[in-house]
């Protein structure tokens, strides 16, 4: 997958100005960067929910911004996405949530649907929660159900939007090992957006760091640790000031007072 020279603006604010990166097939790629740099926006651009102002995004040889609505929906069937909040359908049970993509896109009979859903729920360890509604589950469990739903159609690629936010250490460990296992077992191209740096780097094969509307670093996690770049250093070690400023852009304080 290639991202070339993408420019994107929201209202007047420039989010990306010439972003270029490539995401290798079958590996776990981490997209990291300070808050507010539009990491989630990148996922939405890749899945075609947003269109860039300029530049091109190629997924498997297809240019996403140029696809028609029908082609786009076909492409999305080959993608899975795990949203920050899980985004389970609140009016459906856990089972129906996971079965939903199957019911919409396939003509499988009830028995087969049940079989597939059971397998996926078993994979995330929530087969017992079958008949509960999403509101009866904890945040971490909801995310695992959503993960089962995202992989139920056996996609070639899966995108995780901040999967580790607000998880206790156990939930975090569970999710980390799930992401890793799914990648190895199914050969999924995985894209993890996160600012939980250490955890993400521990499973990633490839890292793209976004800051100040561009790619600040691209390479393996080991290279990132060794990078001399001030921005990368600041981000890795959590220094309050550096190339990314502590202050919101403003005139000097002497003028304001």
Partner 1 sequence: MIVEWIAGIGSLTLSQLSNVGRASLILIQAIVGRTNAGVHWRLTIDQIYVVGVLSLSIIIVSGLFIGMVLGLQGYTILTDYGSEQALGQMVALSLTRELGPVVTALLFAGRAGSALTAEIGLMKATEQLASLEMIGIDPLRRVVAPRFWAGVISLPILSLIFVSIGCLGGALIGVSWLGVDSGSFWANMQASVEFSDDILNGIIKSVVFAVVVTWIAVYQGYDLVPTSEGISRATTKTVVHASLAVLCLDFFLTAVMFGEI
Partner 2 sequence: MYSRGTELSVGVFVLLGAFCLAFLALEVSGLTKRGDSGSYRLSARFDNVAGLTTRAKVSAAGVTIGRVVGIRYDEKTAGAIVDMEISQGFSQFSEDTSASILTAGLLGEKYIGLMTGGDPNYLVDGDIIYDTQSAVVLEELIGKFLLNMSSEK
Check residue 89 for interaction with partner 1 (CB under 8 A): yes
Q: How many CB atoms lie within 10 A of CB 193?
A: 24
- Residue 114, contacted partner among partner 2, partner 1, none, CB below 5-8 A by kind: none
104 interacts with partner 1 by CB under 8 A: yes
Is the CB of 93 or the CB of 212 nearer to partner 2? 93
For residue 171, give Cα distances in angstroms to 13, 51, 80, 141. Answer: 36, 34, 21, 8
Residue 71 touching partner 1 (CB under 8 A): no
Q: How far is the CB of 154 from partner 1 (least distance, A)?
A: 13
* Closest distance of CB 165 from partner 1, Å: 13
Q: Pick from partner 2, partner 1, none: which does 105 bind, CB < 5 to 8 A by kind?
A: partner 1
Does residue 85 touch partner 1 according to CB under 8 A? yes
Which of 10, 73, 136, 173 contacts partner 1 by CB under 8 A?
73
| Half-sphere exposure for 101 (CA within 13 Å, toward CB) | 23
Pick between residue 96 and residue 156 the one whose CB is nearest to partner 2: 96
Binding site for partner 2 (CB under 8 A): 92-93, 96
Q: Of these partners, partner 1, partner 2, none, which one is at the site of residue 49 (CB under 5 to 8 Å by kind)?
A: partner 1
Q: How far is the CB of 96 from partner 2 (least distance, A)?
A: 6
In this complex, which beta carbon is closest to partner 2, that of residue 50 or of residue 108? 108
DSSP letter string, the chain: -EEEEEEEEETTEEEEEEEEEE--TTSEEEEE--TTS-HHHHHHHHTTSS--SEEEEEETTEEGGG--HHHHHHHHHTEEEE-TT----TTS-HHHHHHHHHHHH----HHHHHHHHHHHHHHTT-GGGTTS-GGGS-HHHHHHHHHHHHTTT--SEEEEESTTTT--HHHHHHHHHHHHHHHHHH--EEEEE-S-HHHHHHH-SEEEEEETTEEEEEE-HHHHHH---HHHHHHHHT-SSSSS-SSPS---HHHH-
Residue whose CB is less far from partner 1, 13 or 105: 105
In the complex, least distance from residue 82 CB atom to partner 2, rounded to whole angstroms:
23
Q: Which helix (H) or strand (E) holds 171?
A: helix 169-186
Selection from partner 2, partner 1, none that 92 binds (CB < 5 to 8 A by kind) is: partner 2
Can you name the residues that pair with 79 across neighbouring β-strands?
157
**106 forms part of the interface with partner 1 (CB under 8 A):** no
Collapsed DSSP state (helix, strand, coil) of residue 256: helix
From the list partner 1, partner 2, none, pick the one residue 77 interacts with, judged by a Cβ distance below 5 to 8 Å according to partner type. Answer: partner 1
| Residue 69: CB minimum distance to partner 1, A | 8
Binding interface with partner 1 (CB under 8 A): 44, 47, 49, 69, 73-74, 76-77, 79-81, 83-85, 87-90, 100-101, 104-105, 146, 149-150
């Amino acid at each position: 997958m290639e991202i070339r020279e993408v420019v994107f603006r929201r209202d007047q604010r420039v989010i990306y100005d010439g972003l270029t990166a490539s995401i290798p097939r079958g590996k776990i790629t981490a997209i990291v960067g300070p808050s507010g740099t539009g990491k989630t926006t990148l996922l939405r651009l890749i899945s075609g929910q947003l269109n860039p102002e300029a530049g091109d995004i190629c997924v498997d040889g297809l240019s996403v911004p140029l696809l028609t609505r029908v082609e786009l929906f076909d492409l999305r069937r080959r993608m899975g996405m795990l949203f920050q909040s899980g985004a389970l359908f609140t009016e459906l049970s856990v089972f129906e949530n996971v079965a939903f993509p199957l019911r919409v896109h396939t003509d499988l009979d009830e028995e087969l649907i049940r079989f597939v859903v059971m397998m996926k729920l078993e994979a995330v360890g929530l087969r017992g929660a079958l008949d509960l509604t999403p509101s009866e589950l904890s945040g971490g469990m909801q995310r695992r159900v959503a993960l089962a739903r995202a992989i139920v159609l056996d996609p070639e690629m899966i995108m995780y939007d901040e999967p580790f936010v607000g998880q206790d250490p156990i939930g975090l460990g569970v999710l980390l090992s799930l992401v890793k296992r799914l990648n190895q077992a199914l050969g999924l191209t995985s894209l993890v957006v996160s600012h939980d740096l250490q955890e993400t780097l521990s499973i990633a094969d490839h890292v793209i760091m976004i800051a100040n509307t561009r790619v600040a670093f691209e390479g393996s996690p080991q290279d990132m640790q060794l990078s001399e770049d001030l921005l990368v250093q600041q981000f890795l070690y959590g220094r309050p000031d550096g190339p990314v400023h502590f202050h919101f852009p403003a005139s000097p304080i002497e003028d304001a007072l």
